[in-house]
Structure 1
Amino acid sequence: MALNARIIVLCMGLLMISVALTPTLSVDAQGNSSDKIKLFGWFAWWNFDTSKLYSKYKYFSHVSPFWFKVDDDGSVVPIKSIGDTFKNFVSFAQDKGIKVVPTVICHSSSLIKLILNNQTSRDMVEEIAKVVEDYGFDGVNIDFERVYSSDRQAFVSFLRRLKLRLKQIGDKEVSVDVFPKTRDVVTGYDYEKIAEVVDYVVIMAYDYHYPGGSPGPVAPIWWIQDIIEYALTKVPSNKLIIGIPAYGIDWPVGGTGKAVTYGSAISRAKALRVKVLYDYKEGEYHYSYTAGRRRHEVWFSGPASHLDRLKLIKKFGLKYVAVWYVGIEDSSFWNALDEVNRKNLSDIVIETYPKSCKGYERYEIKGRLEPGIPKAKIYVMYSLDNGATWILDKTVTTDNTGGFVYEFLPTKGGVYLVLFQWNGSEAYLGDYELVTIRVTLIQTKTYLTLKVNNTSPVVGSYVEISGKINPPIAGAQIDLYYSTDGSWIKISSVLADDKGEFKYVWRPQTEGKYCIKARYNGSKSYAPSEHTLTIEVQPKSSLKINLASHNISAVLGEWVKISGYVEPRMSVNLKIYFRPEYTSEWSFMCEISTNSSGEFAHLWKPYETGNYYVKVAFEGNPYWKPTYAILIVHVEEKREEMLIELILVLIIVAVAAALIVVKKLLIR
């Protein structure tokens, strides 16, 4: 509840990340079982979401409205006016058996020092007692932050007087918020002495990384565990409350971070299409993005974070959890609280594993799933990039006593994060365990050379890729790839011969710049290596078909010569098609080849009169683009036949005329 984390958060997130360890369950948190974790809920005055109390009241043991402050003159005053909304909130909570303990804040070290002066301290005690009595509160939560270490005893004395005074008006509770620590260091908060005086010590286990500092997890899970372990050496478990965050922080690099909710963080990641990662070691979600040419890093709590923290609290037998603050948490917090209260704990314990080892050697990692859960599937994943990507290696099944064995066979050097994960059952919560193994490869260094027979081939032509691996490794698999846009596409795999040489013939299908890569992935004895080179694939050249004529007149029944030449002059195959002008369908005529000078000729006899279209086509090859040329052939009948037909027509006309004349003479 540090001041720099208390800013107004306007966006509530409804989107959920589906995490294997965080199944969403809908169960009733009712019941009076003593092992259930209850919520000490802070409610902020600037975002007073009373609906969470009305809908989730069964989860609460206490509500603490963040409503009163110490003024500059040492008086206790409301931060916000106390109206019907606040009064109804208090009345509803107390009707449901929930204790109302408003927070009184003071974040000025110098003002706190003044308050802890004997007379001022007595006046402050009376003011707080009056507030508690006048409003019928069940106690008070003291949030004096940044107490000087020199004032630690005076602070305990103040709390003692306050507790004694509140006891006089009905044995009211006193809880105090303290900064976290993991070892004995002198601060303004003497855990042990404070615990002797007050009813509850609330440790604000967040702001490990804070808005004004460097980016990182707000409340890493290992840090919370260290806090609890230390606190239990000073504070009885029934008095200890661990405060966890419901918020995250978005840091611009080199700037001050701003608080975000789970929902707003996820919405931004979705809009920007960036990958959200869960850091199993830290117990928080994170991602980075760029806005306005400035890189941002975001860390925040979500489904798996809530579950991991609540499981930890249950593991140490604590009965309460506080959250900063009620109203910005997402629904997965309540789901996690349900699940932790309904199920038993499980625990993956890794008993033996190599902290460092050699590559290409087998190692047994032995573990147990407590409390002796049999036939459970343990998923084993590893990461070589600090958790950015996880590779599922295999699943192992526990034996009848909950034991399991995983065979670890590393094939790469580096730091392996190995994750063992069980997803849980109806009776047990899931669990995971992370181990770190440093792998060293003792290998002979290899070198790849790569070349091509043509660095400027024409698109579609054959390119011979060849190379050699040194030292020569007979049978070594060489993987070949190409890239035109930064992403690698596999061409093929080839095996090196006894001399370490390899060869492959490949046809690029598009023009442009290609990067070609040969990669050897290594073995137990030899280290991986790769080599790249660049070629520029040229577009195909244009071929031109020149016809002897584009218009030919022909007589039906006689041969028509179709001829010409191609440029550049060379031997190629051509196809000739034709169609009468009354149809759009081409008919195949023949296929011919040009001579070495590029010349061609073909005789064709049309079968009817009219206009024909003749197409001479080159259909392309790896070096030349397809092309064609068109000529028109006009086909007429023979002239002798036309003359005979004309004479016959004239004779017929003459005979007809003669008959008409004879007929007229006979009539006379």
Structure 2
Amino acid sequence: MNWSSRVRRAFISLITGIGLLATLLVAAPLAQADTPRIAAGWLPYWMTSPTRPAGVNSAVANADLLSDVSPFWYSAMQGGAAGVQVKVNPNFTNSAANMAWALGQLRGAGLRVVPAIADSSGKGTMAAVLANPATRSAHVADLVNTVLSNGYDGIDLDYETFAFSDGRASWAATQPNWTAFVQELGGALHAQGKSLTVTIPPPCSTTNACGPTEGYWVYNMTGIAPFVDHIRIMAYDFHVQGIGAIAPMPWVRAIVAYAASVIPPEKVQIGVPTYGRSWTKRTASNGYQLSGTCPASGSAAYKTLTSMVSTTDADIPGVLATVGVDPATVQWDPVAQESWVEYDKPVAWTDASGASQTCTARRIMWWVGPQAVLARTQLVGEFGLGGAAYWTIGGDDPAQWPLIRAYAQQLAPAATEVTVTAAPEVAFNTPLSIAAAVTSAGAPVTGVDASLQFKKPKAAAWTTVATSPVGADGSVAFAPNATELGAWRIFVPGVAGRAEQASAPVAVQIASAVKATPKKKVVKSRVQVTVRAVALPGHRKQVILVQLQRGARWKTVGRALTDGRGIAKIVIEAQKKAGVYSYRAQAQPKAGYGSGLSEPFTIRVK
């Protein structure tokens, strides 16, 4: 990561007159290391409109923690010359206006927008498209065009049909075509400065066995890793129809440990659920635990009583309050690291005679609430992951964000302070003394090479001109020849646990370098004497003065302009009385360079 610092410019005026040259001391403001952006996630389309803005609002409010966000707007649907076409999800009504609004909000918060694209083409369709090099190439072009034409920062591929529709028997044939597709798409997007994220189901079984032929191995995690920026692993839905934890921590940890061992961990974003599920409990004979007068199996009321229901973290407190759950009865499973609670759910229904009846289901809910979200997010620091990706942003419990922010701040590296000292003025093409004291948390920084950097007035970037190791006392010094106008700074790179830092820039005044020599050093009274002066760097029409010393003062006795090489010939009149007289040449400021003085020279009058 790059940790940017606040900098200020210091402009030093030319110091003239007699006295000691002052030393410029410039301390860069102590950089407050930015909170690491350790989170990402998906925004369902139904949470990205002005009338239903939960996803956008949550992302904007927590933009400081988010590396990017993925609105779920697009689907790869059957049709077109390639066999599939990228289209906006047809269920997203008024999509153009809603997407424009959401983009404005997200970009206004400084967020990278990497829309998710789902595979909605149907069983076997995408596999067939990728198996044909021509249609595969056309699909790549369609995806790249979607990114470029909308100005997105990249895309997130969420192609789950291979895993959940095509069947395991198809995976051996699909895997190499999928890998080639990701390689081609990654290359095409990266050539345009765009990113590629791929979302995959876990590469591990539900018994925590992980490997190239375990879990959903068709996605070839190790094979596609070189071509993508991030791989998001959906480490959830451990229990869907059966009762239990959504993302039990031992399973999640096994997934993360394996992924981080076989691909660069910074490419891994671990998927974290922000939802729960509730089920009706079963009896010993596997029937549902229902009491009261209950409807017939297959009826709408019966389905209401017995169906599994998914609920967002945002809605869970209200749902539990509705059925009268006392928050004190909520349990925490220390192994799964999730919350659960049992409760009664009464359902009123009308029987065939028209009489009102009530049936009560004994329900159990498991969910990944704020504390559980934090526990999974903490794997980011433990394994050096690229982040945690939340499904969903917008369905989250707002209470999770302060926990995540506090954790992220713990991961922020210590700040570095670079205090520069430099002479405020130096003659052209002479050594400039510039040094720095480097500290972090009040202690000297050592064991790192600092860089002296220079930037011309109109340049956009800094150029490194020298490097030197920082001493045991945290000091480093440079002595470059000052030949160009511009700003100087000293940059100290970061290491694990400490942020990088550049000093505040210093603009050192460069004075013209002047040499002056009289054509004759011994002359008669009142004769004309030519003084040859050279002022560097050479500028045409720079004013050169010849000055005669009178006690503590210098009196101008001659004046001329330089040619393009910086040479001027100044004619002066020798003094009337015999004696030895001291002179000097002074170059007036020109083209940003300051006034410069020659060494004194003498002329003897006979």
* Structure-2-length-normalised TM-score: 0.49
Greater RCO, CA 8 A, separation 6+: 2
Larger Rg computed on CA atoms: 1
* Structure-1-length-normalised TM-score: 0.44
